[in-house]
Structure 1
Amino acid sequence: MTATSPSIVSGPVSTGGRALGPDLARGLMLLFIALANTHGFLHWPGVATIRNMPVVSSTADRIVAIFELCLVDGRSYTMFAALFGYGMVQIRRRQENAGATWPATRKLLRRRGWWLLGLGFLHAVLLYYGDILAAYALLALLLVASLRWSTRRLLIHAGGWIVAGALLYGLVSSPASPESAASIMPWSVEHNPLKAMGFRVMGIVVSAPILAITAAGAFLLGVCAARLRILEEPEKWLPLLRRVVWIGIPVSALGGLPLALYVAGVLPDPAFANVVPAAVLHSITGFAGGPAYAALIALWAMRLHGNQPGRAGTAQRPGRIVTALQATGQRSLTCYLSQSVVWAIVFPPYLLDLGHTMTLWQSALLAIGTWIATVLLADWMRRAGIRGPFEVLLRKLTYRKPA
Structure 2
Amino acid sequence: MPLAIGLAHAILLFSGDILVGYAVIGMLCALLMTRGRVSLAAAAIVTLPALGVWGWVDGTVGLGGGTGYASASAPDYLAGVGIRAPDALHGLSLAPIEEIGLLSPMALGALMARGALLEDVPAHRGRLGRLARWGLAIGLVGAVPLAAVLVLDPAHTRLDAEIVLGILGVLHQVSGLAGAVGLAAGAAPLAARWDPRPAARAPGADGGPADATATPTPPATPTATDPPPVGARGPLGAAVRAVEALGAVSLSAYLAQSVLCLLLFPPYTLDLGARSAAAGAAALVLAGWLLMLLPAVPLRRSGRRGPMEHVRALWQDRAHPAHPAPPTPTEPAEEPDDRLRRHPRWPRHGTVWGHLVSDRSLEEPHEAAARAGLPPRAFDLDHYDWPASAREDLEAAGVSFVGDRELTRILLRSGRG
Q: TM class by shorter-chain length?
A: 0.5 to 0.7
Residues 59 and 146, structure 2, Cα contact 8 Å, conserved in 1: no
SS of aligned partner of 2:61:
coil
Any stretches of 5+ residues in structure 2 without a counterpart? 203-226, 319-360, 364-417
Aligned residue among 131, 138, 141 for 1:251: 138
Match of 2:84 among 200, 203, 215: 200
- Residue of structure 2 equivalent to 1:19: none
Aligned residue identity for 2:16: G
Match of 2:25 among 104, 114, 139: 139
Deviations 1:104-149 (A, max 9, x none): xxxxxxxxxxx11000011111112111111111012333321122
Question: d(CA) in 2 for partners of 1:377 and 1:180?
Answer: 37
Q: CA deviation at 1:296?
A: 1.7
* CA displacement at 1:211 relative to structure 2: 6.2
The residue type equivalent to 2:23 in the other structure is: A
Question: How far has the Cα of 1:189 moved from its partner?
Answer: 2.2
Structure 1 pair 248/153, CA: closer, same or farther in 2 (3 Å)?
same
Pick from 273, 276, 280 the counterpart of residue 355 of structure 1. 273
Contact 1:162-1:287 within 8 A present in 2 as well: no
Residue type of the alignment partner of 1:398: Q
The answer to whether structure 1 residue 330 and structure 2 residue 214 are counterparts is no
Q: Secondary structure at the match of 1:350?
A: coil
Give the AA of the match of 2:278: L
Partner of 1:397: 315
Identity of aligned residues (%): 28
Partners of 1:329 and 1:230 lie apart in 2 by 20
From the two aligned structures, give the one with the greater strand fraction.
Answer: 2
1:356 to 1:150, Cα distance in 2 relative to 1, 3 A: same
**Separation in structure 2 between the aligned mates of residue 152 and residue 322 of structure 1, nearest angstrom:** 35
Cα distance in 2, alignment partners of residues 364 and 172 from structure 1:
19
Contact 1:175 1:275 in 2 (8 A): no
Structural mapping, 1:108-127, within 5 Å: 115-127=1-13
Are the counterparts in 1 of residues 135 and 182 from structure 2 also a CA contact under 8 Å?
Answer: yes
Does the 8 Å contact 2:63/2:160 carry over to 1? no
Matches of 1:290 and 1:154 in 2, distance apart?
18
Alignment equivalent of 2:115, drawn from 208, 225, 228: 228
SS in 1 for 2:152: coil
Can you give the 5+ residue segments of structure 1 that lack an aligned partner in the other structure? Answer: 1-114, 308-312
CA contact (8 A) 2:26 2:103 kept: no
Match of 1:298 among 188, 197, 206: 188
Alignment of 1:244-393 (within 5 A): 244-266=131-153, 268-305=158-195, 315-318=229-232, 319-383=237-301, 385-393=303-311
Secondary structure of the corresponding residue to residue 149 of structure 1: coil
RMSD: 2.6
- CA distance in 2 between partners of 1:384 and 1:228 (Å): 31
The offset of 1:178, in angstroms, is 7.6
- Distance of 1:158 and 1:320 partners within structure 2: 36
Displacement of 1:177: 5.7
Once the two structures are superposed, residues 176-211 of structure 1 have per-residue CA deviations (whole angstroms, 9 ceiling, x without a partner) of 468543xx7321221131121121123334556276
Runs (4 or more) in structure 1 with deviation over 4 Å come to none
Contact 1:175 1:271 in 2 (8 A): no
The answer to which structure has the higher helix fraction is 1
State how many pairs are aligned.
Answer: 282
Which string of whole-angstrom CA distances, capped at 9 and with x for unpartnered residues, describes residues 32-69 of structure 1? xxxxxxxxxxxxxxxxxxxxxxxxxxxxxxxxxxxxxx
1-side partners of 2:114 and 2:168: how far apart?
Answer: 33
Report whether the alignment pairs 1:149 with 2:35. Answer: yes
TM-score by length of 2: 0.62
Q: Residues 193 and 231 of structure 2 are in contact (CA less than 8 Å); yes or no, is this contact kept in structure 1? A: no
Structure 1 or 2, whichever has the larger Rg, is 2
